Amino acid sequence: FYKRLRANGKKPMVAIAAVMRKIVVTLNARLRDAMIPQS
């Protein structure tokens, strides 16, 4: 994902920020999905 962003001409910091955001969104979704059955 990071390499693809870099290949598209994104600056390194911009690409890293996008990757981190993607990871955070994925983790939040997993946590949310894990919580639903218990409630």
pTM score above 0.85 = no
Please report the pLDDT score of residue 25 as a whole number: 93
The string of pLDDT tens digits covering residues 1-39 is 878 878 888 888 888 899 899 999 999 988 888 887 765
Rama region for 9: left / alpha / beta (φ>0; ψ in -120 to 50; rest): left
Residue pointed to by tokens 């290949």: 7
pLDDT score recorded for residue 39: 54
Q: How many C-beta atoms surround the C-beta of residue 3 within 10 A?
A: 8
Distance between CA atoms of 28 and 23, rounded to whole angstroms?
Answer: 9
